[in-house]
Amino acid sequence: MVSIWPTAEGQIAWTEHLAPPSCSRFLSIGTSRFHTDDIVCQRYYVAWLTAIAWIFMTSSATFICAVSITGIASLCHPTYVPERWHTALMFWAILIIGLFLNIYGMRLFSHLNNVVAFSMLGSTVTIVAILFAKSSGDYNSAHYAFLGFENGTGWSSRGITFIVGMVSAAFSILGYDSVAHMCEEMYKPAVYAPRAMVGSVLISLPAGLLIILAFVFTIKDIPTIATQIFPLTYILEQALGNKAGAAFLTVTMSTTSAACASMSMLATSGRVIWSFALEGGIPFSRQLSKINRQHHVPIRAMVVSVIIQCLIVLIYIGNAALFNSILVLAIALLNASYLIPNFLMLTRGRRSGTLPKAPFSLGPVLGPVCNVVAIIYELFISVMLFLPTVRPVTGENMNYACAIFGVAHIVCGVYWFFGGRKRAHNYATDRAAAVAAAASNDTGSVKGAAA
């Protein structure tokens, strides 16, 4: 889909092209840039899901980085007692640094990503070698590594325990659409955006499997590890017997990669907000749809993303379970935003036989198979992750994701019925006029005219 329609809207635009006009009156928010004013262009619901999900996704990466720094400080200074507000302050600092880099250092991003990628691969190999070397002669059995089951959740069903433990795995296979939201700043996005998505899998899969194998064959004392602030740091310190080495490897493998991910996700969340504001789909759309003329980035949209996240992390100070539920919600929302265009592609796009040709194609067999597998997974994971992760359930360990999911939908609906629909159509009219002017003068792209 990104190869057919490379645009910053991502799955919002894919839904636009695939959705039937009959069901788009409520769900859509504008008119097509490619057709007449009477044809609906975007799915309002998908746009809201995507915008909220990417704000939460950015928060999750920033939080991982902040917790890793707190964990390193606790390792190096045994007398230090970490508090939640310490992590919140670190969270704010990382976000502000990321905002400045997104404004003034966009040209450094490609180099920074390359450095982080190589340091991640190097530290992965180093950690695997250390774990196997230090555990020589005392490895866990293959039976324990592949079939052993540790259940500390309170759930009696192994199946449910396995499912609620999939949060980290589900999180790790999200965010590939971030490339799509950067398409309008890429060279030949129809070619290189799909390559970036596939390439990220080809790089991550072997490295991830390698380090997982190292852990399951060498890990000891899981109950103690589970109580640590940042378990990776503790595992490395136990293996090396050296705090400095453990801190260095944690930084190279986790802290820097999470920080870089936070900066990249902030860029994505800002562009999602900006593209949605172009359609008038959110409050203050006219202000948030502006591009800074000097730096050529949506500064206002990114600032809004940062402010929302800085407020969200305050929840962590009062209730860690509620904050963790927000991070789980990001998984559910983003999967839901993938689900709709996948379903439309399977049921309408492929069956119509009128899809535009694109440089990247999965063909008539593999394509539908991928759509079906994706739909089943996205439905399953988006529902099951709402289950409590621990039993018995209390206010301190409750999974609030389902409640927040409902609140997000209420806000979405209320805004639509009380001004959002009218504002969206007004913006659509303005954009249509801008498109017509650009076409008559032949002076620029549709996106440039709209901006």
343 within some domain: yes
- Is 368 or 134 the better-scoring residue by pLDDT? 368
Q: Residue 204 belongs to what domain range?
A: 11-450
Q: Which segment, 6-10, 190-194, 219-223, is predicted with the most confidence on average?
A: 190-194
At 416, the pLDDT band (50, 70, 90 cuts) reads confident
Asked if residue 377 has pLDDT above 70, the reply is: yes
Distance of CA 273 to the CA centre of its chain: 14
Residue whose tokens read 């999967």? 335
Q: Which whole number is the average pLDDT over 385-408?
A: 83
Residue 72 lies in a domain: yes
All residues at 6 or more sequence positions from 226 whose CB lies less than 8 Å from its CB, including other chains: 152
Give the least confident one: 44-48, 83-87, 237-241, 318-322.
Answer: 44-48
Return the percentage of the chain with pLDDT > 90, whole number: 16
Residue 5 domain-assigned?
A: no
User: Domain containing 116 — which CATH number?
Assistant: 1.20.1740
- pLDDT above 70 for 36: no
- Res. 140: pLDDT tops 60: yes
Q: Is residue 28 part of a domain?
A: yes
Q: Is residue 6 part of a domain?
A: no
Mean pLDDT rounded to a whole number for the chain: 81
Q: What is the pLDDT of residue 94?
A: 94
Task: At 189, list the tokens.
Answer: 């996005």
User: CA 67, 90, 404, 1: dihedral to nearest 10 degrees?
Assistant: -80
Give pLDDT, residue 42.
47
Taking the C-alpha atoms of residue 139 and residue 131, their distance in angstroms, rounded to an integer, is: 10
Q: Helix 401-415 vs helix 44-76: angle between axes, to the nearest 10 degrees?
A: 140
3-state secondary structure of 420: helix
For residues 389 and 399, the answer to whether their CB atoms sit within 8 Å is yes
d(CA 263, CA 357): 34
- CA separation for the pair 238, 27 (Å, rounded): 54
Quick: pLDDT tens for 320-348: 888 888 778 888 888 888 888 899 899 88
Residues 226-268: tens digit of each pLDDT: 888 888 888 888 888 888 888 998 898 888 888 888 888 898 8
Q: Which residue has the higher pLDDT, 305 or 50?
A: 305
pLDDT of 198 higher than 60: yes
pLDDT by residue (tens digit) across 11-28? 888 887 887 765 544 444
pLDDT at 444: 43
Residue 425 pLDDT greater than 80, yes or no = no
Q: pLDDT band for position 115 (50/70/90)?
A: confident
pLDDT band at 439 (very low <50, low <70, confident <90, very high): low
The structure tokens listed for 342 are 């996948």
Give the Cα separation of 245 and 243 in Å (integer).
5
For 377, counting Cβ atoms within 10 Å of its Cβ (0-12 exposed, 13-18 middle, 19+ buried), the class is middle
Residues 397-409: what's their mean pLDDT? 83
Residue 307's pLDDT band (cuts 50, 70, 90)? very high
* Band (309; pLDDT cuts 50, 70, 90): very high
Query: Is position 443 within any domain?
Result: yes
Rounded CA separation 67/72 (Å): 9
Residue 448: predicted pLDDT: 43
* pLDDT at position 24: 46
> What mean pLDDT do residues 61-90 have?
91
Site of tokens 């590594």 = 145
- With contact defined as beta carbons under 8 Å apart, do 98 and 65 qualify? no
pLDDT value, residue 451: 41
Across the range 365-392, mean pLDDT stands at: 89
Number of domains composing the chain:
1
What phi and psi, each to the nearest 5 degrees, are found at residue 350?
-70, -35
The reply to whether 4 falls in a domain is: no
Taking the model in full, what pTM does it have?
Answer: 0.81
Which residue do the tokens 């190292």 mark? 214
Whose tokens are 């720094």? That residue is 69
- 122 in any annotated domain: yes
